[in-house]
Structure 1
Amino acid sequence: MRMKQNGMLTAALVAALLVPTEAIAAEPSQGQAYVETQKAVAEKAALLTGTYGTTSVQYALIDQGRILVSGQSGKNDEEGKVPLTAKTTYGTGSTSKMFTTAAVMKLVDDGKIDLDNPVTAYVPEFKMKDERYKEITTRMLLNHSSGLQGSSFANSFLFEDNDTYVHDRLLEQLADQTLKADPGAYSVYCNDGFTLAEIIVERVSGTGFSAYIHTNFTESLGMADTKTPLDNTDGFGMAATYFPVYQGQLPTETINAIGAGGIYSTAEDLVRFSQIFSGQKEGILSDESVEAMEQAEYNNGMWPDEADNSFGFGLGWDSVDLYPFDEYGIQAVAKGGDTILYHAALVVLPEENMAAAVLSSGGSSSTNQLLANEMLLHALKEKGEIAEFKHEKSFGEAAKAVMPEDVPNYAGMYGSTNQLIQVDIAKTGELSVSLPLMPNLPAEKYVYTTDGSFMSEDGTAKVSFVTEENGRTYIWVRMYASLPNLGQTALSHYSAEKLSANEITDATAAAWEKRDGNKYYLVNEKYTSLAYLLLPALQIDLLEEAPGYVKDKKITGPDTAASDLQIPMVGGRDTMEYRFLMQDGVEYLEAAGSLYVSEDALKPIYAGKKSLATIPRSGLAKWYTIPEKAAGKTMTVKLPAKGSFTVYDANGALVNFSVISGNNKVVLPQKGVLIFAGEAGSAYNVSLK
C-alpha cells in the first residue's frame, strides 16, 4: 500500500511540525565502524521526528552481510514506559510486496510457476465480467500491468483484528469487476494484483502464505521479529501509533491484505531480508530470479520518456534505477509502503551488497526513503566508494519564450483518480493548474520556456503535454523535491489525462442531478475498522465544467459511472465503478466492494431517555442523525461483545470511536451523525441524559 499522491502537481512532502526528540544509535557489529554515518543518520532521524511529522523512526544499514548502522528516534507509548529498541516492530505496508514477489520467484525457481502463464492456470476459479481477464499473467500481477482496478480493501485495515475477509473475498469481488485496460498495456500501481499473487502462492505451494514466507525466508535469514497478522503476536512489541483526529495512543493497526501490505517487521530484519537481492545469501533465490526482478518492467508498456525518477517498476520493486544513485553510476532498487499509521522504505544496492531500511509510526514512506538514501550515501562516502555528494538538481531559471499558437489547445479539464484538474493556458504563455473540487487551494503557476515545456518559478518542476499512441493526452510532470538536510527525490510521471467529451441523455442527467451534493455513508465495514477514524462517506459532486462526469468517472447510465482513465504509474491507480441500487425504497451506492447508504435514509436518533438499536440480519451498520432535541445530551451505550459506535460532529470530525477510546459515553454534538456497527443481531441499549 504505497502512499497515494494527492493535491496539486507538485505536492509538498513536508509534514506538520513536532517537538524535537533525541535519536538513539545502536552500537555497530564487527566490520567498518561507520562512525560518521552513525552520527549523520542519528541527526537526520531526529530531524524526521522533530520537524517532519514522524512519531517514531527505526533504521538499519547492512553492508557485506553485517548490520553496521542501527538506531531509533522519537516517541513510543504515551506513558513513556516502553522504550524504542531495534526489536520494536512496525507495519511495512507495501514493502510486504517484496515478500510476495520473492515467494512467487521461489516457486518459479522450483519449476512450479511460469511467470508468463495465465493466472487461471494456477487459480482456475479466477473470473471477471471482462473476458480479457484470461490474458492476465503472474508477471503482470508483479509489475502492476494486469489492468485490475486497484484495491478491493473492504474490511482490511482493522484495529487488533486479524479477520481474513479481504483475502477470502477477493475472487468474489473481482468476479464482479471489469478491467480498466488491456492486460500488459501499461503499469499502474495495483494492490489487488499482490493479494491475487498471495493466493497463487498458496494454491501452488499447498501451504498458507504466512507459513510459506516463514519456511522459505524468515527462518533461514534469522528474521525472528517478522510476523503477519495470522501469527501468534502475543508480547510482540509493536510501535505505538497516533492519529491527528484523536488525542491519545491507538490500538494496534492490523493490515489483513498480507501479500499486498500486511507484514510486520523491524529495520534490522528488513535488511537481513535484503541479502537475497544482493547475493549475500545463496540457496534462497536463484541469481536469475533476482536479476529478473530488477529489470525495467515498466518499459514493456506506456510510460513517460526517461527522466530522473523515484518510480520505475520491476517485479515487485517500485524502482529499479532509483534517483539519486543513478547520478553516481550505482543501481539502486527500492520499495516503499504506507498503511494508515505505519510507513516503510527499503533501498538495496545489489552491486554494492548494501541495503538500508527505515520504518516509522507517522510520517511517510517518501521521507523514510530519503533517510534510507542518505544513510547509504554517507556510508558509501565514508568507505571511499564515492568521493563527494552530488549537488541537488533543478531545471534552472525559467527562461520565458514565445509560445506556439496551438499550445492553448491543451487547456481543459483533466482527471486523475478521484480528482479533477483544470488547466488554463493564456496566449501570453502562462499555465495555471487548479483543483475545482478544492477551490480554496491556490492555483499553481508555470511559464512557457525555450525547451517547449512550462516551468515553475523556482525551477523545480516542468510541465509538458503528451499525446500518446493511444490517442489520449496527458500532463507530464517532472520535478525535484527537497527537504532540508534530508536530501532530494525526483519524480517523472503522467499526473492526469484530458477528459474526453461525454454526452448523456436527459434522463441520465436528471438522475444524477438529484444526487448532486448528497452524501452516502459506509455500511458494510467491520466495527473494528480504521475507516471510522475519518467520516466514512462519499459525496456526489457534479461540476458544470465537467459535464457527463462525477469526479474522474464517466457517467455511463442513470445509476452507473466508471473511470475511463488510462494513466500509468500512480495517477490512474485505484479506479472504481459507481453503481447505485434500490433496496426497500432506500438508495445504496456500491464502489470497490464497499456499500454506502444515502443520507436521505438516515433517521434521527431517539431523543428520549431510552432506546434500542439493532443491527439487521444483513449485518449492515445503522446510521443516525442527531436532532436538535438530542444535541448536548450525554449518550451512554451498552455495547454488545462484537460492536462499536462512532460519533461525528457537523463538520465530519471524530467525536468518539468506542474501539479506540474505550468510552461508551459521549456528549452528542449539534447536527452530527452517529453509527452503530457490529455483527448481525447485535443490540445497542442507548440512554440519553
Structure 2
Amino acid sequence: MKTKRLFLMLAMMTLMLSMLAPIGVVAAATGEGSLAYKDTQKAANEKASLLTGQYGTTSVQYALIDQGKIVVSGQAGINDTAGKKPLTAGTMYGIGSTSKMFTAAAVMKLVDVGKINLDHPVTEYVPDFTMKDDRYKQITPRMLLNHSAGFNGSSLTNAFLFSDNDTYAHDTLLKQLAEQQLKAVPGAYSVYCNDCFSLAEILVERVSGTDFTSYIHQNFTQPLGMMNTKTPQDQLNTSQFAALYFPNSQTQLPRETVNAIGTGGIYSTAEDLARFSQIFTGQAAGILSSGSVDAMAQAEYKKGFWPEDADTVVNYGLGWDSVNLFPFGDYGIQALAKGGDTILYHASLVVLPGENMAAAVLSSGGSSTTNQLLANQILLHALKEKGTIDEIKAEKSYGTPVKADMPAELLDSAGMYGATNQLLTVNIAKNGELSIATPQVPNYPAEKYAYSADGSFLSTDGNVKINFVKENNGRTYLWTRQYLSLPGLGQLALSEYAAEKLEPNDVSEEVLQAWKERDGKRYYVINEKYTSVTLLSLGSLQVRLFKEAPGYVIDQKITGLNNAVADHQIPTTGSRDVTPLDFYKEDGVEYLRYGGSLLVSEDALKPIYTGKHSSTTIQATGYAKWYSIPDRAAGKTMTVSSSSKGSYAVYDENGACVGLGIVKPDKETVLPKNGTIMFAGEAGAKFDIKLK
C-alpha cells in the first residue's frame, strides 16, 4: 500500500549514508530589526547537514523569507568531488513539480485580466484539444489546476533528458491526448496528474500569445528579481547548476533537463523561490490579485469525493499540494505547500500566508518529502524565535488500541485491493485482527492491526489507523492515516484512500492463456531518446499475474487478449498514472504500447556477439536495440565507440545501470552476468563494439 511503500522508502533513506561527507554549511542571516534568527539559522544548518549525512542527499540549499526579507539562507553537502565549485546561494537546482505553481499562477494571471474563465471548457481556449472520450469537452482550467480532469496521468516520453532541451514532450502532448480515454468523469475526484499542468502550459501559451518561458519571465521572475530562475529554453550557464552523480559513484552526470516545463521543468534557487512566495503572502503587489491568491488556497480537493479531513500533507488547492499542511494547523496557522521531484533533483516550498513567511529547500539527491520536513523545521524554529508560538509541539499518535468487539459486517471488507502498480491482500478475522499483505513482495511480513473501540483498526504503536469506507460511487476504499517520524526532521502525516477493493473479473480460458504466456516476461523500451535520464534505470516493464487476483495484471483489469486497463478511481495519489496495456504483434515480434512508450518483448532480444569485434546500427525507425549478455560474454570488458548521436547503457540482472555511454562514451564496462545492453541513437547511428 502507499503508506507501506513510503515507509519503506524513507526507512531505506534513513539507513543509507551519503557516500560523500558534507563539506560544511554556508550561512547568511540578515535580521529584521533586532531579531537575527540565530537559533533558526543554527537549527537550519544542523538539519541540512543531517539531510546530507543520513538521508541520501548530495547537496541541499535552503532559504527563509519573513516580511519580504531573506533572513536565513544556507547550503550543505558537496557540489563537486574535487571541491573546485563550492555551493552558493546562486547554485541552481531543478525544482520539478514545484514548477506547477508558476503554471497555476500564470493561469490565474490570465484570469485576472479576463482572458480565462476557470469554469469554461478548455476547448474554448485550445480548440485542437481532443480525446477519444467525449467527456473531455467538460474539462475546465480549474480541473487542470486541481488535478480533477480525469486524464490517465503522465505523457512524459522523452521529457527527462541529459543536457538536451528537445521539446518533443510539449510538442506532441495534444497528439498523445487525442489517442487516450479518460479514466473518470471530469471533476469527479482529484488525483495527482502531470498532464493537467502540461495542458495548462499550452493553455497559457495559446491565450497569452507568447511562449511559456517568456510569459513567466515577463510576469513573475523579472518583477520579483528572480535572476536565478530559468527554464531549458533559456541560455544557461552550466557551471551554475548543482552537480548530479551516477548512482553509487563519484562520476558526475550531465545537467538534467525536464522539457515538460509547466509540469516540472523550471530551475531555481531557494532564495528565488522564497521571493516567488511573496505573491502568496501579499508582499508582492501587482503580480496577482488578492482574489486569485485566495482562490488558489481554497480546499479544491473537496469539490470531488475525498476522505474526511485529517492530519495530512496532501489536500489540493489550485496548484498547491496542500492548503492545510500538517503540522501547522495544530498551531492555528494555514500552511500552503508544493513539492517537486525530478529523477535527480528535489524541491519543496512551504508558505505561511497569514504570517508573511515562507521556506524553500532544494536538493540534489534525497527527496521532496525530506526537503519539506526541513522547510517545516526552519519555519517552526523561526515562529518560536519570534514568539509567535511558545514551543514546537510534541509528535502525535493515534494511541494504543482499546480492545473492542468488531461488528460482523466488517468481515465483508476483506478481499483484494489495488492502486496503481500495487496489489494488496486484506484479511479480517472475527477476533478483530486486520492483516494486509503484498503479493508482489511475498517475503515481506503482513502488516497487523487490531480493531479498536473508536471503530478503526490501529497498529500496535498507534501510528497507523485504518478504516473501510464505501463512497457514494459504490466503491469500497482502504482509508489509511499515518504518522511517520524521521529522526531529527520531525513528523510526517498522511491521510488517503490507499487502495480500492477490486471486483471479480472473469475472463475466458483463451484470454487467460494469452496472458499466462506473458507472465514473468519483460518488455524493453525502444522509443526513448539516447539522451534520456531514464536510462539510469532499466527501461523495462514486467508482466506479473498473481493467483490472488485472477483476471488482473497487478491492479489492471484484463479486458481482452491483448489489453488491460485499471478500473479503480482513487483520489489523492492512488490512481495516479494509470496507463493501459496494449499488446500487438508485427513480423512475429510482440510489442507493448504503454502510454507514449513502445516496448519490445524479451523474446526479441538477441545475445551480444561474444567475439572480439562487432557493430550495430540504429535502423530508420530510430528504435533502440537491446541485447542480452550470454554467459560467454559475462565478465568481459566492453568498449564502445559511437557518434555523438547515440549512446548505450549496460544493466545487471537486477536492472541497475552499471555503464552509461553518455557519461563515459569511450570508457570500458565490465559486462555483468545475466545483464542486458541497450544501444540508442538517431537513425543511422553506428556503434563499434569491442570485447576483451
Give the TM interval when normalised to the shorter protein.
over 0.9
SS in 2 for 1:561: strand
- Displacement, 1:429? 1.4
Q: Distance in 1 between matches of 2:650 and 2:397?
A: 47
SS in 1 for 2:398: coil
Q: Distance in 2 between matches of 1:448 and 1:570?
A: 26
- Displacement, 1:341? 0.9
Q: Name the residue aligned to 1:617.
A: 620
SS in 1 for 2:244: coil
Alignment of structure 1 residues 416-495 onto 2, 5 Å: 416-495=419-498
Alignment of structure 1 residues 576-587 onto 2, 5 Å: 576-587=579-590
- Displacement, 1:11? 4.5
Deviations 1:609-667 (A, max 9, x none): 33221111111101111223333333222212210011122332222111123344323
- Displacement, 1:235? 4.4
Q: Distance in 1 between matches of 2:383 and 2:691?
A: 65
> Does the alignment pair 1:262 with 2:265?
yes
SS in 2 for 1:423: strand
Could you tell me which runs of 5 or more consecutive residues in structure 1 were left unpaired when the two chains were aligned: none
Alignment of structure 1 residues 395-410 onto 2, 5 Å: 395-410=398-413
Q: Distance in 1 between matches of 2:408 and 2:445?
A: 27
> Does the alignment pair 1:517 with 2:520?
yes
> Does the alignment pair 1:34 with 2:37?
yes
Q: Name the residue aligned to 2:322.
A: 319
Q: Name the residue aligned to 1:222.
A: 225
Q: Name the residue aligned to 1:210.
A: 213
Output the amino acid matched with 1:565: H
> Does the alignment pair 1:112 with 2:115?
yes
Distance 1:608 1:484, change over 3 A: closer
Output the amino acid matched with 2:10: L
Distance 1:484 1:7, change over 3 A: closer
Q: Distance in 1 between matches of 2:662 and 2:248?
A: 14
Alignment of structure 1 residues 29-68 onto 2, 5 Å: 31=33, 32-68=35-71
- Displacement, 1:6? 7.1
Output the amino acid matched with 2:141: T
SS in 1 for 2:207: helix
Q: Name the residue aligned to 1:627.
A: 630
Deviations 1:57-89 (A, max 9, x none): 111011111000101111111211111111111
Q: Distance in 2 between matches of 1:79 and 1:521?
A: 37
Q: Distance in 1 between matches of 2:491 and 2:379?
A: 14
Distance 1:381 1:9, change over 3 A: closer
Deviations 1:337-395 (A, max 9, x none): 11111111101111111111011111111111111111111111111111222221111
- Displacement, 1:51? 1.6
Please give the TM-score of this superposition, normalised by the length of structure 1: 0.97
Alignment of structure 1 residues 269-668 onto 2, 5 Å: 269-668=272-671
> Does the alignment pair 1:17 with 2:35?
no
Percentage identity across aligned positions? 63
- Displacement, 1:246? 4.5
Greater shift, 132-141 or 392-401, is seen at 392-401
SS in 1 for 2:142: helix
Distance 1:245 1:73, change over 3 A: closer
SS in 1 for 2:495: strand
**Match 2:166 to one of 160, 163, 167:** 163
- Displacement, 1:404? 1.7
Q: Distance in 2 between matches of 1:395 and 1:485?
A: 21
- Displacement, 1:584? 1.7
Alignment of structure 1 residues 227-246 onto 2, 5 Å: 227-246=230-249
Q: Is the 2:647–2:665 contact (alpha carbons within 8 Å) kept by the matching residues of 1?
A: no
Q: Is the 1:541–1:551 contact (alpha carbons within 8 Å) kept by the matching residues of 2?
A: yes
Q: Distance in 1 between matches of 2:390 and 2:573?
A: 35
Q: Distance in 2 between matches of 1:659 and 1:507?
A: 45
Q: Distance in 2 between matches of 1:477 and 1:72?
A: 36
Q: Is the 1:245–1:533 contact (alpha carbons within 8 Å) kept by the matching residues of 2?
A: no
Output the amino acid matched with 2:690: S
SS in 1 for 2:271: helix
Q: Name the residue aligned to 1:681.
A: 684
Q: Distance in 2 between matches of 1:394 and 1:17?
A: 28
Output the amino acid matched with 1:17: L
- Displacement, 1:555? 0.5
Output the amino acid matched with 1:400: K
Q: Is the 2:130–2:174 contact (alpha carbons within 8 Å) kept by the matching residues of 1?
A: yes
Deviations 1:149-190 (A, max 9, x none): 111111111111111111011111111111110000000000
SS in 2 for 1:311: coil
Please give the TM-score of this superposition, normalised by the length of structure 2: 0.97
Q: Distance in 1 between matches of 2:238 and 2:184?
A: 45
Q: Distance in 2 between matches of 1:645 and 1:495?
A: 38
- Displacement, 1:251? 1.6
Q: Distance in 2 between matches of 1:536 and 1:502?
A: 30
Number of equivalent positions:
686
> Does the alignment pair 1:669 with 2:672?
yes
Q: Is the 1:638–1:664 contact (alpha carbons within 8 Å) kept by the matching residues of 2?
A: no
Q: Is the 2:507–2:558 contact (alpha carbons within 8 Å) kept by the matching residues of 1?
A: yes
Q: Is the 1:144–1:190 contact (alpha carbons within 8 Å) kept by the matching residues of 2?
A: yes
Q: Is the 1:10–1:461 contact (alpha carbons within 8 Å) kept by the matching residues of 2?
A: no
Greater shift, 179-188 or 69-78, is seen at 69-78
SS in 1 for 2:517: helix
- Displacement, 1:470? 0.5
SS in 2 for 1:132: helix
Q: Distance in 2 between matches of 1:206 and 1:301?
A: 32
Q: Is the 1:243–1:341 contact (alpha carbons within 8 Å) kept by the matching residues of 2?
A: no
SS in 1 for 2:434: strand
SS in 2 for 1:674: strand
SS in 2 for 1:659: coil
**Match 1:149 to one of 141, 148, 152:** 152
SS in 2 for 1:13: helix
SS in 1 for 2:118: coil
- Displacement, 1:30? 5.1
Q: Distance in 1 between matches of 2:2 and 2:103?
A: 24
SS in 2 for 1:406: helix
